[in-house]
Each structure stands twice: as C-alpha cells, then as structure tokens.
Amino acid sequence: MNISKDNIISDFILYGIYSENKFAELVAQLNLHINAERIIMCIMEVDYYILLKKRFDDNQGKLISFTFLNIINELLDNYQRGIVCHEKDSRFILVLSFSDLCFRPHNLRVFFSDCMTE
C-alpha cells in the first residue's frame, strides 16, 4: 500500500476513515514520531497567506507550503515530537506527541518556547 503521511493524518482526523488501531499501525509502518498517548492536535493557519502568494509569485501556494512544511518538520524532527501535514491553502495540521512527558502546562510551554527560539 502506497500511502502518504498527509493522507493518513487527514483521513484519520478529518474523515474518520481509519480506526485508532489502524491509524497506530500505519504510523508505526511509516516510522512517524508520534505515540498514541498524550497527543495534542492543532491547526496552524498562516496569516496574510494571499499576500505571501503575491509577494513570492506563487499562484498555487506550493512554494509557501513546501517552505512551512520544511521548517516545521525540521523542528519536530529535532525534538522527535510529532508530524505536520498541509491541509489546504494556509492551513497545516500538527500532531504533537508528549508520551514521555508529564502532561503539565509548564512542560508544553517549555517545548513551544524552545521551538520558537530555535
């Protein structure tokens, strides 16, 4: 089966195509950095997306999408904390895994603060 990380995430989160067990199986097959415990899912939306497309002469938004995915993936890979996929236009889905941390707001703030200063 040839399936992409983006398809797995969107099919599971947005469309409910996979059961939790099947999703976990696919995540393991692709060796993605998420665990089923202590997960945070969020949507990141890029402000001024239309202006960015105009500024970089990127009518289809592929350059912008690729750039954001590259930056976010590097951060998440450094911390082994999760995965990101492009939903559409200015929206990205982040699935963050904190299975090895106590789920306290302080730990999450430290993680996000570290990411932002990198």
Residue 70, pLDDT > 90, answer yes
- Can you tell me which residue has the tokens 């430290």? 110
Q: What's the pTM value of the predicted model, to 2 decimals?
A: 0.75
Query: 67 lies in a domain?
Result: yes
Query: 5 lies in a domain?
Result: no
pLDDT score recorded for residue 82: 84
Q: Show the domain range for 112.
A: 37-117
Query: 13 lies in a domain?
Result: no
22-60, pLDDT tens digit by residue?
Answer: 888 888 888 887 776 777 888 889 999 999 999 999 999
Query: 43 lies in a domain?
Result: yes
CA distance 21 to 92: 24
CA distance 42 to 93: 6
Count of all residues that appear for the chain in the document: 118
Query: 14 lies in a domain?
Result: no
∠ CA 42-75-67, nearest 5°, is 85
Structural domains in the chain (count)? 1
Query: 21 lies in a domain?
Result: no
Phi and psi at residue 97, to the nearest 5°:
-115, 130
Q: Sign (positive/negative) of CA torsion 10, 12, 18, 24?
A: positive
78-106, pLDDT tens digit by residue?
Answer: 877 788 888 888 999 888 887 776 666 66
